């Protein structure tokens, strides 16, 4: 298990691990490299190919959990892409299921999204028999819906995204010869972003890796921020228990951020209890700044931000090296209107073109910028008002940590004293930073303050 903090070079470690295995005589085709997105899998494969150069003798298999497990279903069960349900058909099925008078819901697109989210959570827990109860609706009504939805999919020969995993697990459990065939095919398993794994993915991975247990997992429990998708940082925390002979290595140098940002983010995340204790150090001599800025109103916050942005631009900083991060898209919406009125170009996470970058904490993961502004760092916004205690609060703190560690040179945290004529409290995360005694922060107050 490699604990890889922000900016610590985990992709390089995975590529070097692949090369070391191949140099030791492992056939490349026996190595399975799993990531969580197609873009990450493609990047990993390209990095490997560049590093291997002309000496490359074949290539490992790179893919996401879904692509790898669906390829197994295609091979052994005869599925094809035509069996994956389209979003429009999925909603038509839900509309039909909800016409059942025994179900107390009327179809809307929002209700459909909520139901699909809950179905996904149940399936990623291993099915209804392994999952807890639903988070909304009373259990009898929800599971009536779940069974009807699932039957409708099967009757049409369709799979939803999460069925790729659930059916793969059932295939391995019901046909041991298929599992043995896949075990002979792959001997070494490398998993990137392991902190994002869920219970179902982990069960399938453990089945495939047994009995050799040649698992090489890389991740950072402090960056586990996808609980709403079923990700569980407890799986990574429990890895040494599940594999008592495993070794744990820390990539402790952050090559991205300056010292002050590293120390400030470390102070914040240290308030979480359920984590691997770790201390990160700068991998370069880069200095940085952490600035906590208080404003009277939201309008003053935006005006102060704009002044700082214009100073950066006049100093030669490209707008593409500046990011504004908010807890939700809604937190960014009012700022986009403010900037539009003043002719400031901006863009989201993946649009092409020059402009200030704006995205949510979740959307910023994996990215980095010279200058980062965290917007609306107020209680009830971050942490969200619904997530003020327990594991939900710890995930909120991890989200704030991810946002902080996107910054290379300067990090600005902004909050307001009032909004909509109501008094606001600064986020407890800001308080945790200000209570630190290291004197890491510049602190500023007032309209248009610097």
Contact 103, 145 (CB under 8 A): yes
* Closest listed residue to residue 205, CA positions, set 21, 12, 36, 20: 36
CA separation for the pair 410, 10 (Å, rounded): 23
| Structure-block tokens of residue 134 | 């639903």
Q: Please list the residues that pair with 239 across neighbouring strands.
A: none
The model carries a pTM of: 0.91
Per-residue pLDDT tens digits for 298-345:
999 999 999 999 999 999 999 999 999 999 999 899 999 999 999 998
CA separation for the pair 266, 222 (Å, rounded): 10
- SS3 call for 410: strand
Band of pLDDT at residue 450, cut at 50, 70 and 90: very low
DSSP 39-63: HHHHHHHHHHHHHHGGG--S--EEE
Band of pLDDT at residue 448, cut at 50, 70 and 90: very low
Residue 56: per-residue pLDDT: 59
Band of pLDDT at residue 449, cut at 50, 70 and 90: very low
Residue entry with tokens 């910028």? 369
Residue 440 has pLDDT above 80, yes or no: no
- The pLDDT > 90 percentage for the chain reads 81
Band of pLDDT at residue 445, cut at 50, 70 and 90: low
Residue 437: per-residue pLDDT: 62
Residue entry with tokens 């998708």? 229
Residue entry with tokens 């909520």? 114
* Closest listed residue to residue 200, CA positions, set 76, 298, 94, 66: 66
CA separation for the pair 45, 39 (Å, rounded): 10
């Amino acid at each position: 298990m490699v604990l890889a903090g922000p900016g610590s070079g985990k992709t390089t470690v995975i590529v070097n691990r692949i090369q070391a295995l191949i140099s030791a005589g492992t056939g490349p085709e026996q190595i399975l490299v799993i990531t969580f997105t197609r873009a990450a899998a493609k990047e990993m494969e390209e990095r490997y190919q560049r590093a291997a150069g002309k000496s490359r003798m074949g290539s490992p298999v790179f893919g996401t959990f879904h692509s790898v497990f669906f390829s197994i279903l295609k091979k052994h069960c005869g599925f094809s892409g035509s069996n994956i349900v389209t979003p429009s058909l999925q909603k038509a099925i839900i509309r039909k299921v909800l016409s059942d008078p025994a179900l107390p819901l009327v179809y809307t697109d929002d209700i459909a999204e909520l139901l699909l989210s809950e179905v996904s959570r149940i399936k990623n827990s291993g099915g209804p028999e392994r999952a807890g109860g639903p988070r909304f609706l009373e259990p009898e009504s929800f599971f009536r819906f779940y069974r009807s939805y699932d039957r409708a999919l099967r009757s049409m020969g369709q799979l939803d995204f999460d069925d790729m995993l659930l059916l793969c697990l059932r295939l391995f459990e019901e046909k041991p010869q298929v599992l043995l065939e896949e075990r002979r095919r792959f001997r070494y398993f490398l998993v990137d972003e392991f902190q994002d794994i869920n219970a179902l993915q982990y069960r399938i991975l453990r089945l495939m890796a047994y009995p050799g247990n040649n698992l090489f997992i890389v991740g950072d429990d402090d960056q586990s921020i996808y609980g709403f998708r079923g990700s569980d940082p407890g799986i990574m925390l429990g890895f040494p228990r599940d594999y008592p002979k495993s070794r744990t290595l820390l990539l402790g140098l952050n090559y991205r951020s300056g010292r002050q940002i590293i120390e400030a983010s470390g102070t914040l995340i240290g308030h979480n209890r359920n984590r691997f204790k770790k201390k990160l150090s700068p991998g370069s001599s880069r200095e940085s700044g952490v600035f906590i800025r208080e404003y009277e109103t939201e309008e003053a916050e935006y005006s102060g931000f704009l002044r700082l942005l214009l100073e950066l631009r006049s100093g030669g900083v490209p707008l593409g090296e500046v990011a504004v991060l908010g807890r939700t898209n809604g937190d960014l919406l009012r700022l986009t209107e403010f900037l539009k009125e003043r002719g400031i170009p901006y863009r989201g996470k993946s649009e092409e073109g020059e402009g200030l970058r704006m995205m949510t904490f979740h959307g910023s993961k994996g990215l980095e910028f010279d200058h980062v502004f965290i917007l609306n760092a107020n209680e009830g916004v971050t942490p969200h008002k619904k997530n003020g205690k327990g594991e939900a609060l710890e995930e909120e703190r991890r989200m704030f940590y991810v946002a902080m560690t996107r910054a290379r040179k300067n990090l600005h945290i902004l909050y307001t004293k009032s909004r909509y004529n109501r008094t606001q409290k600064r986020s407890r995360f800001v308080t945790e930073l200000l209570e630190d005694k290291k004197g890491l922060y510049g602190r500023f107050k007032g309209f248009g303050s610097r």
